[in-house]
């Protein structure tokens, strides 16, 4: 019994002492941000990030409910997140447009190259168009035309639909003649020495870039974010110079649940280096907005080459799997090594048959991902399964893959991975959501049934009168029709899922009841 | 006592109040700043590149040399990247000396043609020698000094995607003297002509080489599938005595089979060096192929067997332990033999063992092999891949591929 009790993990209230609900709950938007204009730019080390996360345990690893959410369990619209497709169905056009508000670089004049990166494995340009807009231009590797640019485009649109802040990216095609070198541009050589860029440097970079059948170069043009870049955010702790950043990142629901979204799109590069804090303006106040970026290493792409088969399967290093491999002489074959990948250079290595959302892992441990609980996974999974087959295909089309088979394959993989995520996450908590009161009666949707994953069966409902100050719930056996003034708690359970419940809180002013809180509860299975 | 907040907004604002009272600039720890600067300021690259191309070089001498260190001048940016040069002088802990210079034009014909000149001087003071033929005994180890100076010019042409031809012509000055390894007898005190051709007097050669290569490895610097097949013929002509002219045929067949998405691999290599001479000619012992050591028979000491011909077979099973480390189980077989007609699978010496390969960007930069044979075991720590193109013995320069 003790052991059994020891593994009971019931979600608790997210807000600690004081009343469970305030009058303004649920808050859908973060309060207006405070001025963060004194925040300074700082750069992190990706080497350190790897070693620190691989061999140490940064952040708070307690299994506590997610923070940074309202009483419905949703992150509030603001600097980190925005409730989008799940809450307000976006049209196909909106999904395809994603974060695009400005448009691709203007073609009314040649693009001015104002920055060049030639060394290293990811060459690229910075260009300004005739409207003086700055874009970062990145390419596909020679091995795999369309792969990285398509992956970036598709992942960018999917993460946008899921509510994350992402930059405005475009696929562009151009020739050498479309570029002209701006005066005074410098380039760093392999030793970090700067020298003026020559026209030949531009041509040399383009030698490393595949061309299409019309001789054009294809690239991702990413519009510079509208503010001052401050460097990446970490997946633990808070920014010490941001008054609005009060919730430890490792406990933010949007970051914990990003694990599920990352698994979907195989964003194994989901680490600090691929995020960016930007000092932006909101009604005259400078605040820090948090972006996901550099998504060219998603789906089957490893940016500069195809993804490795290991991608998403295992950390780059972990003691236990390494020991298993060492002592079994490799006779133990990891699950991910059995995957079959099609010979499609524009797709890279992406598949759905052996994909297992519960086993998926980024390149190295991510504190927020490790802190995720079943309700975090459910929160993201419900958004992912809400994206229909047709919508996925429409988003995949924004990758502008020239091979229709590659496009079909990619969409089919995303659909199958989506369904695996739904099945896995909906098995861990009662997949009941979209609570509403219709005609004075509490209604909900069984998402597992709705999406064809097998419903939870008959749901039992028990009402309680809820004391908001003390948190005490008293069973209420009478029928709730006229909604007396006060707080009410509905406890939903299903006989097929005895260890899972959902609590729905309703506040009534005596006339119009309103749902103010939702909590998914579960009990871990015996170890 | 502050009052309880009345609204959620107020509760959040209080958290912000608390945070605002302790705002401070974002910083990174000193270890993180160090690692960040290491990358951003390209410190490793600068150390590797040196001062205007002048840097320290390590290793890359020969098995048995001990640790080698010396200055190197290396530039890849001359003529806009169309000319690379390298000048190296290495001295090892066993006082072996190697000086080398080369200039290469790597970008001719769009990178399909390579041409260059090469000069080399080596003075290896204590190369092991166990006696001629396959029946030499482990206890018969002696030592000799090997010196050579070479100049050559050559080039390669990628005829087709997988096919390359090449050639090289040069001149070789050789010298052999008493070895100075402590506790080991000098070879010249054990052997004399004609048992050991070239032990009493050394000659100079012209050296002409032709090469044909078919290479379809997926990644030549870290292959996981595909193959590499090379035939190289070299003509050595004695320019002093007219007694030591010979021909040497090098064959190298490598085959890689990757499975389970290439995280498991079988790698095989068959290698042979065959010499032949016209009547009245012989192959100097110091130009004869040897086997044993880190590259072929890993259960035996370096240069353990020597004769006019040699062959070796190596098979490795490699598996990924984690993304930066592979394990390997291997079996080697090989022999030396006086006549070409004895090239068969009879009387092979063999060894088995295990190893670890540390990789970065799919390149092996460090390997540790432990080989076992009926003569005991040997441990090798090498900063290279086992199947890199290295010829048998110390006398040859790397094959032209």
Residue B370 in tokens: 């432990």
In DSSP notation, A444-513 reads EEEHHHHTTS----SEEEEEEEE-TTT--EEEE-S--SS--SEEEEEEEEETTEEEEEEEEEEEE-SS-E
Q: Look at A220 and A2; give whichever has higher pLDDT.
A: A220
The partner residue sitting opposite B45, judged by closest CB among A48, A51, A190, is A190
**Would you state the torsion angle of the CA atoms of residues B157, B160, B161, B163, taken in this order, to the nearest 10 degrees?**
-70
Residue A261 in tokens: 């979204």
User: By C-alpha distance, which of A346, A266, A348, A261 is closest to A307?
Assistant: A348
The partner residue sitting opposite B263, judged by closest CB among A18, A200, A337, is A337
Tens of pLDDT, residues A211-230: 999 999 999 999 999 999 99
The confidence score (pLDDT) of residue A483 equals 87
Residue B272 in tokens: 């042979």
Mean per-residue pLDDT, A375-385: 98
Mean pLDDT per block of 10 residues along chain B (401 residues) reads 85 96 94 92 83 86 88 89 92 94 90 92 94 91 94 92 93 93 88 88 94 92 93 95 95 96 96 94 94 93 94 97 96 96 95 95 91 95 82 57 46
Coil, strand or helix at A110: coil
CA distances from A120 to A199, A440, A487, B343 (A): 19, 63, 60, 48
pLDDT greater than 70 at residue A10: no
User: CA-nearest residue of chain A to B362?
Assistant: A308
CA B264 to chain centre: 23
Length of chain B as a residue count: 401
The confidence score (pLDDT) of residue A13 equals 40
User: By C-alpha distance, which of B58, B114, B61, B121 is closest to B84?
Assistant: B114
pLDDT greater than 50 at residue A527: no
| Dihedral of alpha carbons B53, B55, B60, B61, sign | positive
Instruction: Determine, for residues A246 and B325 on separate chains, whether the beta-carbon distance falls below 8 Å.
Output: no
Beta bridge partners of A293: none
In whole angstroms, give the CA distance from residue A337 to residue B264: 9
3-class secondary structure per residue, B220-251: CCCCCCEEEEEEEEEEEEECCCCCCCEEEEEE
Beta strands in A107-211 (DSSP E): 111-117, 124-128, 134-139, 169-174, 179-181, 186-188, 194-196
- Does B47 reach chain A within 8 Å, measured CB to CB? no
- Does B240 reach chain A within 8 Å, measured CB to CB? no
CA B388 to chain centre: 5
3-class secondary structure per residue, B121-174: EEEEEEEEECCEECCCCHHHCEEEEEEEEEEEEEEEEECCCCEEEEEEEEEEEE
- Does A318 reach chain B within 8 Å, measured CB to CB? yes
Mind telling me how many Å the CA of B37 is from chain A's nearest CA? 8
Length of chain A as a residue count: 527
The confidence score (pLDDT) of residue B2 equals 66
User: By C-alpha distance, which of A238, A117, A128 is closest to A183?
Assistant: A128
The confidence score (pLDDT) of residue B41 equals 86
pLDDT greater than 50 at residue A205: yes
Which residue do the tokens 């260059």 mark?
B116
| Dihedral of alpha carbons A172, A178, A182, A185, sign | positive
- Does B52 reach chain A within 8 Å, measured CB to CB? no
Tens of pLDDT, residues A448-505: 999 999 989 999 999 999 999 999 999 988 777 788 899 999 999 999 999 999 999 9
In whole angstroms, give the CA distance from residue B170 to residue B400: 13
Beta bridge partners of A278: A229, A289
Instruction: Determine, for residues B6 and A22 on separate chains, whether the beta-carbon distance falls below 8 Å.
Output: yes
The confidence score (pLDDT) of residue B47 equals 82
User: By C-alpha distance, which of A218, A210, A211, A214 is closest to A142?
Assistant: A210
ipTM: 0.91
Q: Other CB atoms closer than 10 Å to residue B50's CB: what's the count?
A: 17
User: CA-nearest residue of chain A to B110?
Assistant: A207
pLDDT band at A7 (very low <50, low <70, confident <90, very high): very low
Mind telling me how many Å the CA of B19 is from chain A's nearest CA? 5
Among B262, B320, B357, B358, the residue to mutate for chain A (most A Cβ within 10 A): B320
Beta bridge partners of A157: none
Instruction: Determine, for residues B321 and A27 on separate chains, whether the beta-carbon distance falls below 8 Å.
Output: no
Residue pair A371/A256 in contact (Cβ under 8 Å)? The answer is yes
The confidence score (pLDDT) of residue A118 equals 67
- Does B376 reach chain A within 8 Å, measured CB to CB? no
Q: Other CB atoms closer than 10 Å to residue A54's CB: what's the count?
A: 15
| B383 DSSP 8-state letter | S
Instruction: Determine, for residues A308 and B323 on separate chains, whether the beta-carbon distance falls below 8 Å.
Output: yes
Beta strands in A224-264 (DSSP E): 228-231
pLDDT band at A194 (very low <50, low <70, confident <90, very high): confident
User: By C-alpha distance, which of B216, B280, B289, B221 is closest to B253?
Assistant: B216
> Which segment of A29-33, A273-277, B83-87, B219-223 scores lowest on mean pLDDT?
B219-223
In whole angstroms, give the CA distance from residue A371 to residue A143: 37
B183: left (phi over 0), alpha (psi -120 to 50) or beta: left
Residue A164 in tokens: 């994350």
In whole angstroms, give the CA distance from residue A56 to residue A365: 10
Contacting B residues, span 87-146, partner chain A, CB-CB under 8 Å: none
Is the preceding peptide bond at B194 cis, omega within 30 degrees of 0?
A: yes
Mind telling me how many Å the CA of A44 is from chain B's nearest CA? 7
CA distances from B289 to A46, B134, B206, B332 (A): 48, 12, 18, 17
Tens of pLDDT, residues A48-107: 999 999 999 999 999 999 999 999 999 999 999 999 999 999 999 999 999 999 999 999
- Does A200 reach chain B within 8 Å, measured CB to CB? yes
Beta bridge partners of B87: B73, B101
CA A140 to chain centre: 23
For residue A418, give every residue at least 6 positions away whose Cβ sits within 8 Å of its Cβ, in sequence order, or none.
A264, A384, A385, A387, A392
The confidence score (pLDDT) of residue B140 equals 87
Instruction: Determine, for residues B25 and A241 on separate chains, whether the beta-carbon distance falls below 8 Å.
Output: yes
A22 contacts in B (CB within 8 Å)?
5-8, 10-11
The confidence score (pLDDT) of residue A8 equals 34
For residue B101, give every residue at least 6 positions away whose Cβ sits within 8 Å of its Cβ, in sequence order, or none.
B85, B86, B87, B88, B118, B119, B120
The confidence score (pLDDT) of residue B398 equals 58
């Amino acid at each position: 019994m003790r052991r059994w009790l020891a593994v009971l993990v019931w979600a608790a209230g997210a807000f600690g002492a004081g009343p469970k609900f305030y009058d303004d709950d649920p808050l859908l938007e973060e309060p207006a941000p405070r001025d963060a204009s004194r925040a300074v730019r700082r750069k992190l080390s990706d080497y350190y990030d790897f070693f620190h996360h691989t061999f140490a345990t940064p952040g708070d690893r307690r299994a506590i409910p997610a923070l940074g959410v309202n009483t419905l369990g949703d992150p509030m619209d603001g600097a980190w997140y925005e409730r989008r497709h799940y809450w307000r169905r976006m049209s196909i056009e909106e999904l395809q447009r994603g974060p695009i508000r400005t448009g691709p670089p203007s073609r009314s004049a040649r693009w001015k190259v104002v920055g060049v990166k030639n060394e290293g494995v990811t060459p690229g340009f910075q260009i300004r168009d005739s409207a003086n807009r700055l874009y970062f231009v990145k390419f596909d590797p020679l091995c795999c035309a369309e792969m990285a640019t398509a992956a970036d485009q598709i992942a960018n649109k999917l993460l946008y639909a899921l509510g994350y802040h992402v930059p405005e990216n475009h696929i562009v095609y151009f020739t050498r003649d479309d570029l002209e070198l701006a005066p005074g541009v410098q380039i760093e050589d392999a030793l970090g020495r700067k020298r003026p860029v020559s026209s030949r440097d531009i041509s040399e970079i383009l030698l490393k870039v595949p061309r299409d059948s019309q001789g054009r170069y294809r690239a991702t043009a990413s519009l510079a974010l509208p503010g001052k870049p401050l460097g990446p955010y970490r997946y633990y702790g808070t920014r010490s110079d941001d008054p609005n950043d009060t919730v430890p990142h490792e406990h933010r629901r949007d970051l914990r649940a990003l694990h599920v979204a990352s698994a979907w799109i195989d964003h194994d590069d989901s680490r600090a280096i691929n995020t960016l804090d930007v000092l932006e303006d909101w009604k005259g106040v400078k605040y820090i907005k948090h972006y996901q970026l550099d998504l060219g290493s998603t789906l089957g792409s490893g940016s500069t080459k195809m993804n490795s088969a290991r991608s998403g399967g295992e950390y780059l290093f972990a003691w236990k799997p390494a020991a298993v491999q060492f002592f079994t002489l490799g006779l133990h074959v990891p699950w991910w090594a059995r995957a079959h990948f099609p010979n499609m250079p524009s797709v890279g290595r992406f598949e759905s048959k052996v994909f297992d959302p519960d086993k998926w892992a980024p390149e190295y441990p991510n504190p927020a991902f490790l802190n995720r609980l079943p309700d975090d996974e459910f929160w993201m999974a419900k958004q992912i399964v809400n994206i229909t087959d047709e919508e996925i295909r429409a988003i995949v089309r924004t990758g502008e893959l020239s091979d229709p088979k590659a496009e079909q394959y990619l969409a089919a993989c995303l659909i199958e991975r989506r369904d695996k995520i739904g099945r896995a996450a909906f098995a861990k908590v009662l997949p009941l959501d979209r609570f509403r009161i219709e005609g004075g009666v509490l209604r909900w949707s069984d998402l597992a049934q709705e999406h064809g994953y097998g419903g939870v069966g008959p749901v039992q409902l028990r009402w309680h009168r809820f004391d908001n100050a003390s948190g005490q719930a008293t069973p209420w056996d009478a029928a709730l029709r006229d909604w007396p003034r006060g707080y009410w708690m509905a406890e939903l359970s299903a006989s097929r899922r005895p260890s899972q419940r959902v609590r729905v809180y309703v506040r009534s002013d005596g006339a119009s009841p309103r749902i103010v809180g939702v909590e998914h509860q579960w009990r871990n299975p015996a170890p | 006592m502050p009052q309880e907040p009345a609204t959620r907004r107020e509760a959040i604002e209080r958290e912000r109040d608390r945070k605002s009272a302790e705002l401070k600039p974002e910083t990174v720890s000193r270890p993180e700043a160090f690692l960040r600067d290491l990358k951003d300021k390209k410190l490793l690259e600068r150390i590797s590149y040196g001062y205007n191309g002048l840097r320290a070089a390590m290793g890359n001498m020969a098995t048995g040399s001990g640790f080698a260190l010396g200055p190197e001048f290396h530039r890849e940016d001359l003529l806009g990247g169309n000319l690379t040069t390298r000048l190296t002088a290495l001295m090892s802990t066993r006082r072996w000396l190697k000086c080398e210079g080369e200039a290469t034009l790597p970008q001719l014909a769009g990178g399909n043609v390579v041409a260059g000149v090469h000069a080399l001087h080596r003075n290896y003071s204590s190369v092991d020698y166990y006696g001629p033929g396959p029946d030499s005994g482990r206890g018969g180890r002696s030592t000799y000094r090997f010196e050579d100076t070479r100049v050559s010019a050559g080039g390669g042409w990628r005829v087709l995607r997988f096919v390359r031809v090449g050639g090289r012509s040069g001149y070789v000055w050789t010298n052999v003297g008493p070895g100075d390894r402590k506790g080991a007898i000098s070879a010249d005190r054990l052997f004399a002509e004609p048992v050991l051709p070239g032990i009493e007097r050394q000659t100079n050669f012209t050296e002409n080489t032709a090469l044909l290569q078919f290479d379809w490895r997926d990644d030549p610097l870290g292959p996981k599938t595909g193959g590499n097949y090379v035939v190289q013929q070299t003509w050595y002509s004695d320019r002093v005595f007219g007694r030591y002219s010979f021909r040497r045929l090098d064959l190298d067949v490598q085959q890689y089979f990757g499975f389970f998405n290439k995280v498991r691999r079988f790698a095989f290599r068959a290698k042979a060096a065959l010499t032949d001479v016209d009547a009245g000619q012989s192959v100097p012992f110091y130009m004869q192929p040897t086997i044993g050591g880190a590259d072929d028979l890993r259960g035996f000491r370096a240069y353990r067997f020597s004769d006019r011909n040699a062959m070796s077979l190596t098979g490795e099973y490699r598996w990924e332990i984690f993304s930066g480390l592979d394990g390997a189980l291997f079996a080697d077989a090989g022999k030396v033999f006086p006549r070409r007609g004895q090239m068969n699978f009879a009387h092979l010496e063999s060894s088995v063992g295990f190893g670890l390969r540390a990789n970065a960007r799919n390149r092996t930069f460090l390997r540790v092999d432990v080989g076992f044979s009926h003569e005991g075991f040997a441990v090798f720590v090498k900063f290279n891949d086992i199947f890199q193109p290295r010829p048998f013995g110390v006398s040859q320069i790397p094959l032209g591929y």
